[in-house]
Structure 1
Amino acid sequence: MKKLNEYDRDKAVYYARKWALSYNPMYANYDKYGGDCTNYISQCLKASNIPFDNIGANVIKKWYWYSEELRTPTWTAAEPFYKYIIGNNIETSDNFGIYSKIVNYNELELGDIVQLVFEGKAYHTMIITDIILDGKYLLDYHICQHTYNLKDYPLSLKEGEKRYIKIIGYYY
């Protein structure tokens, strides 16, 4: 039986802040192919100790990056990434890897994911790196992203329809 492992939010946020304004030379930079945002977010999740998922039946049910030539679209493209992390695991699934769910704005935590969406499809991916409170009242979140690299930028200043994704953990 598979076991749900805890998502290390602190490690994901640390990595996000460290590489928000530059590029980790261990990975390719996909800016020249239309954007590096989801590649960067995948790196953040991997830095939190989530292992590669090589188990799925096809590339949309797997998540890994070994090289530019040996990677899944779920690692580097916003909509396939969404389909993977939302469709990958349900309670009755035998699949491994990231387990997440769609949540409301006020349910986000550090290390959770926000996507910009147009006509129902994701085109940009960001990570929550700070929660701005006034006492117990939520004011805003800060995000980090690649493709127009930003570090601790107010989410409220990002225009467009948003999708909020909570990372629950991962099965391994």
Structure 2
Amino acid sequence: MDWKGFIQKYFDAVHWSWMDGKIERLASFFSKEGKDKTGEWERLTREYSQTVSRGAQIYAVSGRVIPLYWMETEKTLEVSLVWRGARHYRIGNQRHEEASTRVMTLRLNKVADGSWVIAETREWEGDLKAANVEANKKEREADVQERDTDAKPLMVVYGAKGYNARKAVEYAERYWDTTNPVYPRFNDDCTNFISQCLHAGGIPMLFSKEKTKGWWIRTGKGSEWSYSWSVAHSLYLLLKSGREPMRAITVDSPEELVPGDIICYDFNGDGRFQHNTIVVAKDWDNMPLVNAHTTDSRLRYWAYEDSTAYTPQIRYAFFHIQGV
């Protein structure tokens, strides 16, 4: 079997495992090293466990794998690809479709009989990379933002009173797997996307000449933006402050959130938040389903136990958005 056939067979097996939970059928695709070291095996196991714990019954799956480019030697091959997958499931009387787009690199080893095994998987622009980028950034952005929480921006641009959560959700649905050409797309795009959703819902920008103040973006030639628009932890600090323009209220549990609200994620539990999502729906058990960028996701279960960045130390912050 050539490597393209092997990859297609592997993802077909992944999709079947979504249906029946038999993750063990994937073992034969991995080398011992690959199974032990790659986070993908562990992620798939968590993904199924999360599905079972919710009482979800998957009744259909779909997926498409698109190779982007590859480099082959006599005994190894590295291929970068786009994997678009969707799961259709029911909880109680409700039906949902959860979709995601992942950009991945697989390293394959050729074994003695000429077949292939997976030695390593990694994401290009996924949750784990974004979390690492956020964690490794200089602390200056968040530190300055925290010190300047009470500082007034130079100009406040007021829009319609309040917050139209429906419009924010419509925006999140429209652009969950693409980019609004009005805005730049970042490598770790989660906070930029959430800021766009909030602004589409009527949250006005707070302009300033300093990146550490306000909440704003200037697009076009020489575009600039505030830390709070683009950095996950800085947006978290603004939401936590309860100040304009979001006037967010911290709530204790995900059940208290409604569509249009925001969840922040501290994957490592160290107090620095690395990811944000927007609630777009609630499931049968009144739990949030979210949209997000970086690993582009639609109607994803809020807990992110299926994420490559997940750790048992994960912490969440839940914010209800009021608006000015």
TM-score by length of structure 2 reads 0.44
Match of 1:103 among 224, 235, 251: 251
Match of 2:192 in 1: 39
Amino acid at match of 2:177: L
* Counterpart among 158, 165, 168 of residue 319 in structure 2: 165
In structure 2, distance between residues paired with 1:58 and 1:26: 22
**Once the two structures are superposed, what CA deviation does each residue of 1:49-96 show, in whole Å capped at 9, x if it has no partner?**
1111126x954440011126321011000011111222262xxxxxx4
Partner of 2:178: 22
Matched letter for residue 230 of structure 2? T
Q: In structure 2, give the amino acid aligned to 1:25.
A: P
Aligned-CA RMSD value? 2.2
Checking the alignment, whether the CA contact within 8 Å between 1:60 and 1:84 is kept in structure 2 is: no
* Residue matched to 1:62: 214
> What amino acid does structure 2 have at the position aligned with 1:124?
H
Residues paired across the two proteins, number: 154
For residue 157 of structure 1, report the CA deviation from its aligned partner: 4.1
**Does 2:308 correspond to 1:156?**
no
TM-score of the pair, normalised by structure 1? 0.81
Larger radius of gyration: 2
224, 244, 262: which one aligns with 1:113 = 262
SS of the residue 2:183 aligns to: coil
Kindly indicate whether residue 236 of structure 2 is the aligned counterpart of residue 74 of structure 1. Answer: no
Contact 1:113 1:127 in 2 (8 A): yes
**How far apart, CA to CA, are the structure 2 residues paired with 1:9 and 1:143?**
13
Structure 2: any 5+ residue segments left out of the alignment?
Answer: 1-157
1:109-160 CA-to-partner distances (Å, cap 9, x unmatched) read 11100111131111001000001135xxx2x211000000001111134443
Do residues 9 (structure 1) and 165 (structure 2) align? yes
In the superposition, relative to structure 1, how do residues 126 and 161 fare at CA in structure 2: closer, same or farther (>3 Å)? same
The alignment partner of 2:174 has SS state of helix
Residue 150 of structure 1: SS of its match in structure 2?
Answer: strand
One-letter amino acid matched to 1:36: D
In structure 1, how many angstroms separate the alpha carbons of the residues matched to 2:236 and 2:303? 21
Write the letter of the residue equivalent to 1:24: N
Query: How far apart in 2 are the matches of 1:88 and 1:72?
Result: 18
Are 2:161 and 2:323, in contact at CA under 8 Å, matched by a contact in 1?
A: yes
- Whether the 8 Å CA contact 2:213–2:226 is kept in 1: the answer is no
Structure 1 gaps of 5+ residues are: 90-95
Letter in 1 for 2:237: K
Bigger mean CA offset, 69-78 vs 37-46: 69-78
Code of the aligned partner of 1:97: P
Runs of 4+ in 1 over 6 A off after TM superposition: none
Q: What is the aligned counterpart of 2:241 among 80, 87, 91?
A: 87
Contact 2:162 2:202 in 1 (8 A): no
